[in-house]
Amino acid sequence: MNGASLNGRRRVVITGLGAVTPLGNDVETSWKNLTAGRSGAGPITQFDSSEFYVHFACEVKDFDATDFIERKQTRRMDRFAHLIVAAARMAEQDAKLEISKEPHRIGAAIATGIGGLKAFQDCHAELIERGPDRVNPFSIPEIIPNMGAAWVSMQLGTQGPLSSQCTACAASNMALGEGADAIRLGRADVMLCGGTEAPVTEVGIAGFSAMRALSRRNDEPEKASRPFDAQRDGFVMGEAGAVLVLEELEHAKARGAKVYAEMLGYGVSSDARHITEPDPTGHNPARAMTMAFRDAGVATDEIDYINAHGTSTPLGDASETRVLKLALGEENARKTPVSSTKGATGHCLGAAGAVEAIFTTLAVERGCLPPTINYEDPDPKCDLDYIPNEAREADVRVGVSNSFGFGGHNACIVVRRFED
């Protein structure tokens, strides 16, 4: 088989990974802690949360943006941009890309759910306290969601397609799908695709807490994110930046690149129903999954692992269990291992899909299924194999990752063990 797949499409492979997560400030540390069953949750350190209902989050720890960005420049960027530039630089290095040789053939698709939330909060405070003439002139470029993608392009020098997906918690998967499509359509040979979020701010915690979306298990933060468990009471806010390098196969082979896996399929749908609640029937998210399977050319009995959206909310996890049964069929759903890595990372919103795509890629490449931690009390409404608490060795050829966002955005990707 050459660079084209059986249906004539340009094949897209994953040749680089970079991440800053609550589990570690690089991919290997994050993966090691994930498979060891560790939690990234702890007391909030970025502001005084004593007057809030929620006092914990899954923060990125000991991160210094000046390790990746010139110090003066960091002061003109929100934290969400710091995280994604760091992840992109690590992915670029991992892939051994030389962007300057062909910048117009290398692009970026970088997602976020919110953008510069801390910058927005600070801008408003400055306006109220000091007046309109004292507002930071860099406020708007710090706030707007597309600046994560823009900073990646400016810092790394990519001049190909540049886009920013802002579809809540489905955004990163959409960035990956659209990045892969750009390569298949010949608009680029390489795309840096991923997502970023830095929502651990006063506004972020207060707002999501007011919705009753967040867990309030303040006495045991490391056990608060418990996807599919009967005692789940909401998600844990997380922050992260994560990037995968997608590359046309022949381009990757020509430069001797390492290939982690093949990006095989992508599917999207919308619920058209509610601002926050999932589709109670499960049919619309299931359509995104079946579309991805069809795009990938895989049958439901060929799927070896699913990284679930699994946020640890009462409605969401029960709904996704129905979705999996609809998309795979009851029999296949019961025998397919499923885990939610949000038990360890919390919910990183617009960055979640990219973080989980990296974990799914490594599960395929390394034959190791990451666990769903804090799974202690089975819920009758969630009755599948959730890989409880301990990683599992397995022969993983095809992996699937789901991302479902507020407003009814649904996205699914399929990756496969690379075979040439």
Asked whether the predicted pLDDT for residue 205 surpasses 80, the reply is yes
Q: Is-contact 112 166, C-beta < 8 A?
A: yes
* Residue 420: predicted pLDDT: 84
Count other Cβ atoms within 10 Å, centred on residue 67. 10
- Answer yes or no: 347 catalytic: yes
* Amino acid at the residue 276: T
- Answer yes or no: 412 catalytic: no
Bridge partners, 306 (sequence order): 338, 400
Q: How confident is the model at residue 317 (pLDDT cuts 50, 70, 90)?
A: very high
Q: Which two tokens stand for residue 182?
A: 């750009």
Give the mean pLDDT of the chain: 96
Q: How confident is the model at residue 145 (pLDDT cuts 50, 70, 90)?
A: very high
- Cα–Cα distance measured from residue 390 to residue 275, given in angstroms and rounded to the nearest whole number: 35
Architecture per CATH, 12-254: 3-Layer(aba) Sandwich (3.40)
Strands 261-270 and 12-20 turn out to be antiparallel
Instruction: Determine the 3-state secondary structure of 393 from DSSP.
Output: strand
HEC assignment per residue over 217-265:
CCCCHHHCCCCCECCCCCECEECEEEEEEEEEHHHHHHCCCCCCEEEEE
- Answer yes or no: 55 catalytic: no
Q: How confident is the model at residue 279 (pLDDT cuts 50, 70, 90)?
A: confident
Q: State the Cα angle at 166 between 293 and 403, rounded to 5°.
A: 35
pLDDT, one tens digit per residue, over 349-366 is 999 999 999 999 999 999
- Cα–Cα distance measured from residue 407 to residue 174, given in angstroms and rounded to the nearest whole number: 15
Q: Would you say the C-alpha torsion 348, 353, 359, 360 has a positive or negative sign? A: positive
Q: For residue 232, is it left (φ>0), alpha (ψ between -120 and 50) or beta?
A: beta
- Cα–Cα distance measured from residue 191 to residue 161, given in angstroms and rounded to the nearest whole number: 8
pLDDT, one tens digit per residue, over 236-259 is 999 999 999 999 999 999 999 999
Of 82, 123, 166, 347, the catalytic one is: 347
Q: Is-contact 20 12, C-beta < 8 A?
A: no
* Residue 196: predicted pLDDT: 98
Asked whether the predicted pLDDT for residue 370 surpasses 70, the reply is yes
Of 166, 169, 368, 382, the catalytic one is: 169
Burial class from Cβ neighbours inside 10 Å (0-12, 13-18, 19+) for residue 211 reads exposed
Asked whether the predicted pLDDT for residue 6 surpasses 80, the reply is no
Residue span(s) of the chain under CATH 3.40.47.10 come to: 12-254, 266-416
* Mean pLDDT of the 209-235 span: 97
Architecture per CATH, 266-416: 3-Layer(aba) Sandwich (3.40)
Of 58, 309, 382, 409, the catalytic one is: 309
